[in-house]
Amino acid sequence: MTWLLLAEAGVPEGGLFDLDATLPLMAVQVVLLTFLLNALFFRPVGKVVEEREGFISTSRADAKQKLAEVQKLEAELAEQLKGARQAAQAVVTEAEQEVDRLYREAIAQAEAEANRSKEESRRAIETERETARTQLQGQVDQLSSTIIDRLLAA
């Protein structure tokens, strides 16, 4: 029942859509507030936003340029490193060849020295053998003549 009483009650004047002088006054206030807010807040904020966007775009362009330079330097350094590795490999190969050559020379020299020493030892032994043979031959001749003298004397 209370709902029926409320539904039958009349709507008071000055409701939601009252079209007297307050509507144009409110429209003027809204327009003035919009211009005031635009002048005081939105333009400075817009200016700061535009400056920030400009800064960001220049920073981004600088960053791209620096990145390109870094990539270029990286490529150059990689090429230099490749060249240095090839040069180091060439030096290592040359050093290995030099060591191999020196090793072979040392082996050849050691073999020559061993052969020379062996030949000298052979000659010395041959000389001593001849000397010993000569001495023994002399002793044999002496003993032979002593034996012959004793046999003839007896």
Kindly list the distances between the CA atom of residue 64 and the CA atoms of 24, 72, 104, 151, in Å, as whole numbers in the listed order.
55, 12, 59, 126
In a domain, 69, yes or no: yes
At 94, is the pLDDT very low, low, confident or very high (cuts 50, 70, 90)?
Answer: very high
Residue 1 pLDDT exceeds 70: no
In a domain, 11, yes or no: no
* Structural domain for 59, as ranges: 27-153
Higher per-residue pLDDT: 1 or 131: 131
Q: Read off the pLDDT of residues 99-114 as tens digits, 9 standing for 90 and up.
A: 999 999 999 999 999 9
Supply the pLDDT for residue 27: 84
- What b/e sequence results for 116-128 when a residue is b if at least 16 CB atoms lie within 10 Å of its CB, and e otherwise? eeeeeeeeeeeee
In a domain, 47, yes or no: yes
Write out the two tokens for 61.
């362009």
In a domain, 83, yes or no: yes
Domain total of the chain: 1
Q: Cite the DSSP H helix spans in the chain.
A: 2-8, 22-37, 43-153
Q: How far apart are CA 153 and CA 146, in angstroms?
A: 10
In a domain, 3, yes or no: no
In a domain, 4, yes or no: no
- pLDDT more than 70, % of the chain: 86
Supply the pLDDT for residue 68: 95
Supply the pLDDT for residue 44: 85
Residue 60 pLDDT exceeds 90: yes
pTM above 0.75, yes or no: no
